[in-house]
Structure 1
Amino acid sequence: METRCSRTWVLGQRGCAGVGLLMLALGCGAAEEREFPPEAPGEVVRELGACTHAVTTNTYVGPDYWGTLVFKNTGTVAIANPRVSLDVPSGVTCDDDQPGWAHTQSGRTCTFTRTSSLTVAVNASYTFNYSTDSSTSFTATHVKVQSDSCGGTAPGGTGLTANQKKVAEALTSIWENDTPTLDYAYSENIHDGRGYTNGRAGFCTGTGDAIQVVQCYRALRTEANGNRLSKYWSALTVINNRFLSTGQSQASTAELDAVGGWTTDWAASFNTAATKADFKQCQDQVSDALYYTPIMNEAAKWGLTQALTKAALYDAAINHGEDGARDLIRKANTALGNSAQVAPVIGYNGITESAWLQKFLEKRRDVLAGDSTWADAVDRVAAYEKQRRLGNWDLGTALRNDVRARDCWGTTYPSSGYTVRAINPDGTWSTPASFTYACQ
């Protein structure tokens, strides 16, 4: 199961996802065997939006049976998990998928879909290679790049409203930073084997996601124009290449430390008025592309429509990674009698969304409690269970995280020690003067 690491204020532990810049997604810890195989690209049908891009290279060398497309993201949002389609000459067959890709062919049109996470930042270029059975050189035609992040919507539902998303992100920020306010300036080496952990979503220098933020930021602002992180690009690339080649999280920050004070420069990038907006935009963009958009599409696939369920899924994606959240979804389905993973699950053999969310949270509780790295973060699951019991499905009622796993499921669970906050339906928040722990 691909995992994302928890950040726990009791232990001072924070974590990060492993994704790899423009490459195959990898877990933030040691690689583990998947309990379920990755989904085939055809399993999730998405209404994809056309992405603004420019094709700067388009060649197919017949003697090498090798095609190369280089496209540049010329839009204003990151391209997440792109789908690339192109037309080949009549009678030519596409074959030999490259790592991270799978293809289908209809007539002359070959369509390539991601099998693992990939983000192409604004103004970044991506080199896409393909192969066919043709020994004759040609130029592919009708090249298209599409993604749900470029304006498409997921089938059967949409994401959260603006206020619901604020509430969901505020809740997750409590678990990540002990405050509902997203901490864009945060940067620290917590010595968890993943380098420096940074920003609103715990982007790590040793697992391939912090580099995506920096890549985006470099596209918006040069070093001469105040980009304090640009000077680290070569060092980040060295670390990222080591991560990609080994599949292992990179603990060393030596290359970064030789350049300057990384944590100081990360914080200053947000705290400086001139650069704050650009730096915030890039963190938001990468977080949405890696976590929010994919998990909202998962919710739509399974027929999950309630804001509370989507908030719980979003938190799981931030905590466990997209594949980890998918694994929990499958476990919940199986526990409710849907071992065949029939979608949508809501309505299948009478399964309700309340019953499904309850089972999903129980499965996630067990994963957290059963892992020494995550055990002290188990209370984050209880917050969603309390709202389920209260029926706060649209997140339209003010809520508090004044609940622990032991309040919902028994005294065997440790107390995580999160500060209790009160979050309003519009995302504003306060710290209550008093409270009583309870699960309903």
Structure 2
Amino acid sequence: MADSRTWMTAGLLALASGCGAQEDAVMPAAVEQALGACTHSVTTNTYDGPLYWGTLVFKNTGTVAITNPHILLDVPSGATCDYDPAGWTHTQSGRTCSFTRTSALTVAVNASYTFNYSTNSNASWTATNVRVQSDSCGGTSPGGSGLTANQKKVAEGLTSIWENDTPTLDYAYSENIYDGRGYTSGRAGFCTGTGDAIQVVQCYRALRTEANGNRLAKYWNALTVINNRFLSTGQSQASTAELDAVGSWTSDWAASFNTAATQADFKQCQDQVSDALYYTPTITEAAKWGLTQALTKAALYDASINHGFDGMKDLIRKANTALGNSGQVAPVVGYNGITESAFLQKFLEKRRDVLAADSTWVEAVDRVAAYEKQRRRGNWDLGTALRNDVRARDCWGTTYPASGYTVRNINPDGTWSTPSSYTYSCQ
């Protein structure tokens, strides 16, 4: 963990992650389809300032062809993407340039593709946060407007407080919190017993062999045995016996990030799987329901990490029904006068009730209140610094237990600090 709090508090924080699967709401077929379907490695990433020319080469390291890829990359502040390569068109939001295909393109398994772009910058640098997405990758191409780079940092930082008690994403974190899902690890609480940790390892194996420093490669057969049980039963797998017979999973997971030679590859795989399973599907789901505000998308994203994507969708259905939209008409915003604020309020209340009704989850109920406080404050674009200095009891009464999360201050650019003083309030 990121601090020296007791195991009980740390365990509750990690428990809030949900490992991408809400119990009794698992969809093994969807996990099986996504498992290893699309992964890639960026083998070249340069920008030659004097030539105004950027070059990306990515290799399809997955098990299916990547069709009509969608390439996103972040350029330095002040740089503007100003060129559409043949077969591509682009948009830019803040520092993020997003390139989509105007004609068909297929990148076969094990094949590489060279992508060139240009900006108005004459300095030399390396693009950051490079992502390659595609509809052929289990629905990972975004179907709606995503968060800006800074909004995503704020959203991920807030979720990371519930995961690891710090807005800094903890890629090295790993422990068994004894919630029936095996080892919980990494920035999104990937679990060995719910089908998402294995996807990180498969991506990582495609980038590095065991001989090349991959400490997790030796667990592959054991992970496969556990994952097959998960897929065949639809139930989270608590046992770590197969992994423990091979080595120390938690130590090897941490070392994979803490070792300089392997850190970039391991981080890339965690980011890639987190985006594919949680962030991008959430953005698409938000667009379906007409939800456009950054705060709403951040709240839905956190619910996807906490309850699993299907658990988050179930909360949407409950919110719709409570608002009189039992027919699940989409978009919901504008339907019979429903506003986005009314929807988010009801969504958070339904999520609060799910957490509060389960003895395993009730200690995580405060995480919902943080989004309710920002809704009441009207911080829709996450453009105002926010704190998690609020508990469920502050928003909805005194019957909820306090979760004990450390209060952090997150700025609109994603930087953060720990305030020396604060007052709990939902206003």
TM-score by length of 1: 0.70
Compared with structure 1, are the counterparts of its residues 428 and 369 closer, same or farther at alpha carbon in structure 2 (3 Å cutoff)?
Answer: same
Residue of 41, 51, 60 corresponding to 1:75: 60
Query: How far apart, CA to CA, are the structure 2 residues paired with 1:33 and 1:257?
Result: 25
- CA distance in structure 1 between the partners assigned to 2:11 and 2:136 by the alignment: 39
Question: 1:256 maps to which residue?
Answer: 243
1:408-423 matches, within 5 Å, as 408-423=395-410
Corresponding position of 1:428: 415
Note the residue ranges of structure 1 that are not aligned, 5 or more in a row. Answer: 1-6, 20-26, 40-50, 54-72, 84-121, 125-144
- Match of 2:180? 193
Cα distance in structure 2, aligned partners of 1:287 and 1:78: 18
Counterparts in 2 of 1:11 and 1:403: CA distance versus 1, 3 Å: same
The residue number in structure 2 matching 1:101 is none
Partner of 2:374: 387
User: How many matched pairs?
Assistant: 333
Aligned to 1:146: 135
1:202 to 189, 205, 208: 189
**Are the counterparts in 2 of residues 18 and 249 from structure 1 also a CA contact under 8 Å?**
no
Q: Kindly state the Cα deviation for residue 245 of structure 1 after the two structures are TM-superposed.
A: 2.1
CA offset at residue 246 of structure 1?
2.4
Corresponding residue to 1:286 among 260, 273, 286: 273
Deviation at 1:82, TM superposition (A): 9.3
Tell me which residue corresponds to 2:47.
Answer: none
Asked if the contact 1:16–1:28 (Cα under 8 Å) also holds between the matched residues in 2, the reply is: no
**CA distance in 2 between partners of 1:148 and 1:307 (Å):** 25
Match of 1:335 among 322, 328, 332: 322
- How far apart in 1 are the matches of 2:295 and 2:207? 35
Gaps of 5+ in 2: 1-7, 31-37, 41-57, 69-108, 112-133
1:85-122 CA-to-partner distances (Å, cap 9, x unmatched) read xxxxxxxxxxxxxxxxxxxxxxxxxxxxxxxxxxxxx9
Q: 1:223: how far off?
A: 0.7
Equivalent pair of 2:39/2:203 in contact (CA under 8 Å): no
1:373 counterpart = 2:374:
no
Task: Give the counterpart of 1:222 among 206, 209, 213.
Answer: 209
1:301 paired residue number: 288
Residues 1:309 and 1:77: Cα distance change in structure 2 (over 3 Å): farther
Q: Encode CA deviations 1:148-176: one digit per residue, 9 max, x unaligned.
A: 7888441xx41101100000000000011
The match for 2:163 among 160, 176, 188 is 176
Q: C-alpha displacement at 1:330, in angstroms? A: 1.0
SS of 2:162 mapped into structure 1: helix
Q: Give the counterpart letter for 1:161 in structure 2.
A: T
Mapped to 2, the partners of 1:361 and 1:11 lie a distance apart of: 20
Contact 1:8–1:14 (Cα < 8 Å) also in 2: no
- Candidates 142, 150, 153, aligned match of 1:166: 153
Separation of aligned partners in 2, 1:290 and 1:78:
17
Aligned residues of 1:28 and 1:194 also touching (Cα < 8 A): no
Counterpart Cα distance in 1 of 2:12 and 2:238:
19
Root-mean-square deviation (CA, aligned residues, Å) is 3.0
Structure 1 residues 295 and 214: CA distance shift in structure 2, 3 A:
same
Cα drift, residue 419 of structure 1: 0.2
Distance 2:251 2:334 in 1: 51
Aligned to 2:392, which of 396, 405, 416? 405
Asked if structure 2 preserves the Cα contact closer than 8 Å seen for 1:78 and 1:289, the reply is no
Counterpart of 1:14 in structure 2: which amino acid? L
What is the 5 A alignment of 1:338-357?
A: 338-357=325-344
Q: Name the stretch that deviates more: 313-322 or 230-239.
A: 230-239
Q: Deviations over 1:293-352 (max 9, x none)?
A: 111101000000000000000000000111111111111111111111111111111111
The reply to whether residue 313 of structure 1 matches residue 276 of structure 2 is: no
In 2 relative to 1, CA 150–237 (structure 1 residues): closer, same or farther, beyond 3 Å?
closer
Are the structure 2 counterparts of residues 379 and 212 from structure 1 closer, same or farther at C-alpha, using a change threshold of 3 Å?
same
Distance apart, 1:229 and its partner CA? 0.5
* Counterpart contact for 2:320–2:343, Cα < 8 Å: yes
Contact 2:165–2:406 (8 Å) recurs in 1: yes
Determine the structure 1 residue equivalent to 2:3. Answer: none
- Equivalent pair of 2:319/2:350 in contact (CA under 8 Å): yes
Aligned-pair identity in percent equals 80
Number of the residue aligned with 2:15: 14
